Amino acid sequence: MGRQPCCDKLKVKKGPWTAEEDKKLVAFILSNGHCCWRAVPKLAGLLRCGKSCRLRWTNYLRPDLKRGLLTDAEEKLVIDLHASLGNRWSKIASRLPGRTDNEIKNHWNTHIKKKLLKMGIDPVTHKLLHDQTSSTAAASPNSTVTDDDKFSKKHESFDPKDGINQVSQEENANPQQSFLNTMNRDEQVIGCLWDDDMPFIEKLWSSPMSIEEWLLDYQDFGIGDLELERVERGGLADEQIKLN
């Protein structure tokens, strides 16, 4: 009847991964692949469940992952895709090479959502909050203060130059509309990404560099080294330019 359980849940380890575990998982996947996640932890000598291994690989260890904050262009793309796709993070992530759904979801919840609220844009509907709430706000002027309201007050000195885009003085007169305008301006760039037939990962696989070489060059297994990371990012950027 049915299949065997993927793991004995009583014996699996939980919590943060160690560098040693990362190395074991990477070494195993690079030499054997991951045709069946259920078998990976046992064969790799890890006391983790397959699900945990899969998440660790896809969200952190995969060699094609970018590190660091999303760029302005990536943020704009996420916002645009979110407007049309909603919280379908995996679909959104598939349009951002080197980014994971988890990373995008986290970035949305911690950065983008707040920026949009600060600019008076509803992060759910992507419409101006003023347009949506003017009637209800007038009806209930003493409505309770939300966390988002608190954020807006706390960040009243927010400088658009640090955020989504730089805007002209004229546009500053109406920051909400200005933001929507910049979104339109980016449509061409976004369109290019939408039309990209060959996903980034396929370009990576087809590059002359082997995956082992790539990993050895770019993976630090979680051991922080900012300078190395900076150089690595430069290397990745160069590689992407070559591939393009």
Tell the smallest beta-carbon distance from residue 151 to DNA (Å): 6
- Distance separating alpha carbons of residues 218 and 66, to the nearest angstrom: 10
Query: Longest C-alpha distance within the chain, in Å?
Result: 69
Q: Are the C-beta atoms of residues 235 and 218 closer than 8 Å to each other?
A: yes
Tell me phi and psi for residue 2, to 5 degrees: 60, -165
Tell the smallest beta-carbon distance from residue 48 to DNA (Å): 7
Tell the smallest beta-carbon distance from residue 138 to DNA (Å): 28
Is 39 or 190 the residue whose CB approaches DNA more closely? 39
Is 226 or 241 the residue whose CB approaches DNA more closely? 226
Count the residues of the shown chain that bind DNA, applying the rule CB under 7 A: 40
Q: What does the per-residue mask of binding to DNA show for 25-64, with x meaning CB under 7 A?
A: -----------xxx-----------xxx-xxx--xx----
Helix (H) or strand (E) holding 204: helix 200-206
SS3 1: coil
Is 198 or 226 the residue whose CB approaches DNA more closely? 226
Alpha helices in 87-199 (DSSP H): 89-94, 101-107, 113-118, 129-139, 147-154, 169-172, 175-185, 187-195
Tell the smallest beta-carbon distance from residue 97 to DNA (Å): 15
Q: Pick the piece of the chain touching DNA (CB under 7 A) from 14-22, 76-84, 129-137, 165-173.
A: 14-22
Q: In this chain, which of 27, 62, 72, 105 binds DNA, going by CB under 7 A?
A: 105
Tell the smallest beta-carbon distance from residue 111 to DNA (Å): 6
Is 52 or 219 the residue whose CB approaches DNA more closely? 52
Residue 233 interacting with DNA (CB under 7 A)? no
Residue 103 interacting with DNA (CB under 7 A)? yes
Q: Which residues contact 69 (CB under 8 A, 6 or more apart)?
A: 107, 111
SS3 209: coil
Look up residue 110 and give its DSSP letter: I
Helix (H) or strand (E) holding 75: helix 72-85
Angle ∠(123,126,127) on CA atoms, nearest 5: 120
Is 217 or 229 the residue whose CB approaches DNA more closely? 229
Interaction residues for DNA, span 148-187 (CB under 7 A): 151, 154
Residue 6 interacting with DNA (CB under 7 A)? yes
Is 55 or 128 the residue whose CB approaches DNA more closely? 55
Q: Token digits for 102?
A: 């988890």
Query: What residues line the site for DNA (CB under 7 A)?
Result: 1-6, 13-17, 36-38, 50-52, 54-56, 59-60, 69, 87-91, 101-103, 105-107, 109-111, 114, 151, 154
